[in-house]
A and B are shown apart, each in its own frame.
Chain A
């Protein structure tokens, strides 16, 4: 089985994304693999371990400086990893899902040549901009069915049986190969990488795939500003006062 995994890099959510001179300041930011992508990668590797002859290939729009993050993917069990870059030049803004999806679809189509992969795994969304658009767009661009936000996966013969959370419940869905699946938290527990795996991964090369991407984005970020989240907290002395304030002052109860 050929399995593609798309990962993206994001600021570690524990990092402080700053704001300096009217622009976002990434100087104190630690770049890591998007958390949801870890579930995707883990699921791909588990499938590889179950189905003999499977190959897991990772694709990521990542700058050269972030090669180590892709090595982590290799250490987790991916067979190959590729950085994708645009031959059109310029940086791909992470706020533009369409171009990200388009670029990834071209990288995947180029790499697999005549045959599409059987499965494409992505994380449900990236923790920085949270558009949650790339996986489904990728499905449409590759001409594959897609299911977003899966929390469980089983393969029975030719069918994929997945579940995903909906408001107040769970949908049990069947889909045929090939398919794009995006992973929700709870799909699995991503493995810790052993020292040996990390050492082995060091020996592998992270390849480079160039794609042409001259199209215009569908969406442009027109502005970004830090939010002052702090409120002045009114401390109440006891439960009586809390109830009074919520019911009579706020009219909430």
Chain B
């Protein structure tokens, strides 16, 4: 029997949608093989009512509510997870792909002597490997675990089928950590949150701009478009290196890999390094004045034109369209 443990990440008391998504994916996996039990671990005090209707399947979620876990602490979080994993004799640990999990998971892999697999497609069966794009997203590589215990970091994929039905979830509080040290380094002292739009790696719709935008002011058009669509602004490396947008918005080889359902590439030529970041995107729309730009080879829809003319028109049309909704 498989015993799966899913880590539910919270920041400022809000459980991340990416974690909820992983819970549902793992429930889907368990439903397929009929031989698995799914539990969850929630670190930090959280108002659990927010999860009503969001979690599918059945299972127990262990809630480590102590205040010392309110903010991410690498050592404390690792101990809570590893202790519970061992106590419950779990066989696989699942994480969503976030800055926090990428910080913790490799250490846990060594500590627990568990195979660490990161990818966005999860194989079935006992060998349960993953696959993901490598070499600037030009190859698909599959990886399998060699150890009995496994840790998975699952990145979001637009093609994943979610497990929708609300289930019977029991929340059980777990004992606080025995810890005599007041601060276990590294310690998060402050979190400075940006205002407004969702992070580009978490947004459902991304409107990205590149060299063709011509300058920092033109990105206002992308901000407007993104705002109307409830999405986030992204940028190519050129735009970031030129100082037009911050690195946090960069998409590509040395930026983020994103998997939105809809991706706009505006004034982006489509260099291989940029495409590396959008391999898992859903529908790709390219707007570029150069009909031969490589971006059109990976776009579902293309509009050949000057972004400075196309975008304002698109914005007006969107405003009208949304009014009618």
Q: Is B321's CB under 8 angstroms from A227's CB?
A: no
B96 smallest CB distance to A (angstroms): 10
List the A side residues contacting B193 at CB < 8 Å. 168-169
- Identify B299's interface contact among A140, A165, A226, A231, CB under 8 A: A231
Asked whether A173 and B137 contact (CB < 8 A) given A97-B106, A97-B116, A166-B99, the answer is no
Q: Is B137's CB under 8 angstroms from A222's CB?
A: no
Q: Is B247's CB under 8 angstroms from A173's CB?
A: no
Q: Is B99's CB under 8 angstroms from A229's CB?
A: no
List the B side residues contacting A238 at CB < 8 Å. 303, 313
- Identify A221's interface contact among B74, B114, B142, B279, CB under 8 A: B142
List the B side residues contacting A109 at CB < 8 Å. none
| Any B CB within 8 A of the CB of A247 | yes
| Any A CB within 8 A of the CB of B1 | no
Q: Is A219's CB under 8 angstroms from B302's CB?
A: no
- Identify B261's interface contact among A149, A171, A176, A252, CB under 8 A: A252
| Any A CB within 8 A of the CB of B188 | yes
| Any A CB within 8 A of the CB of B177 | no
The 0/1 profile, CB within 8 Å of A marked 1, for residues 237-260 of chain B is: 000000000011010011100000
| Any A CB within 8 A of the CB of B272 | yes
The 0/1 profile, CB within 8 Å of B marked 1, for residues 167-180 of chain A is: 11111111110010
Which residues of A (119-169) have their CB < 8 Å from a CB of B?
127-137, 139-141, 145-149, 151, 164-169
- Nearest CB in chain B to that of A35: its residue: B254
Give the docked Cα–Cα distance between A184 and B248 (Å): 10
Give the docked Cα–Cα distance between A134 and B109 (Å): 11
- Nearest CB in chain A to that of B255: its residue: A185
| Any A CB within 8 A of the CB of B100 | yes
| Any B CB within 8 A of the CB of A28 | no
Q: Is B117's CB under 8 angstroms from A252's CB?
A: no
A71 smallest CB distance to B (angstroms): 24
The 0/1 profile, CB within 8 Å of A marked 1, for residues 70-114 of chain B is: 001011000000000000000000000011101111110111001
Asked whether A186 and B247 contact (CB < 8 A) given A166-B191, A174-B186, A250-B283, the answer is yes
Which residues of A (62-111) have their CB < 8 Å from a CB of B?
95, 97-98, 101
Q: Give the contact stretch, choosing among B36-44, B55-63, B197-205, B210-218.
A: B197-205
The 0/1 profile, CB within 8 Å of A marked 1, for residues 133-165 of chain B is: 111111111111111000000000000000000
| Any A CB within 8 A of the CB of B192 | yes
Q: Is B133's CB under 8 angstroms from A167's CB?
A: no
List the A side residues contacting B186 at CB < 8 Å. 145-147, 173-175, 179
Q: Is A222's CB under 8 angstroms from B133's CB?
A: no
List the A side residues contacting B284 at CB < 8 Å. 231
Q: Is A13's CB under 8 angstroms from B273's CB?
A: yes
A200 smallest CB distance to B (angstroms): 29
List the B side residues contacting A127 at CB < 8 Å. 136, 253-254
- Nearest CB in chain B to that of A243: its residue: B317
A35 smallest CB distance to B (angstroms): 6
Q: Is B109's CB under 8 angstroms from A133's CB?
A: yes
Give the docked Cα–Cα distance between A88 and B5 (Å): 36
The 0/1 profile, CB within 8 Å of B marked 1, for residues 224-253 of chain A is: 111101110111101110110111001011
| Any A CB within 8 A of the CB of B30 | no
List the A side residues contacting B116 at CB < 8 Å. 97-98, 131, 133, 218-219
- Identify A17's interface contact among B72, B135, B298, CB under 8 A: B135
Q: Is A36's CB under 8 angstroms from B254's CB?
A: yes
Asked whether A167 and B199 contact (CB < 8 A) given A185-B250, A239-B303, the answer is yes
Q: Is B109's CB under 8 angstroms from A247's CB?
A: no
Asked whether A223 and B107 contact (CB < 8 A) given A145-B74, A229-B297, A231-B297, the answer is no
Q: Is B145's CB under 8 angstroms from A218's CB?
A: yes
Asked whether A242 and B301 contact (CB < 8 A) given A151-B247, A173-B189, the answer is yes
List the A side residues contacting B298 at CB < 8 Å. 229-231
A94 smallest CB distance to B (angstroms): 10
Give the docked Cα–Cα distance between A74 and B300 (Å): 46
17 contacts between A and B (CB under 8 A): A13-B272, A19-B139, A101-B106, A133-B118, A136-B104, A149-B99, A151-B247, A166-B100, A218-B147, A221-B141, A223-B141, A227-B137, A227-B279, A231-B299, A231-B300, A245-B301, A253-B229
Closest 6 CB pairs of A and B: A136-B106, A169-B193, A175-B186, A167-B199, A172-B190, A133-B106
Q: Besides the contacts A98-B110, A164-B99, A168-B194, what 15 more A-B pairs have beta carbons closer than 8 Å?
A: A13-B276, A95-B141, A97-B106, A127-B253, A127-B254, A129-B135, A149-B102, A166-B11, A166-B100, A179-B185, A186-B247, A218-B116, A219-B115, A219-B145, A239-B313
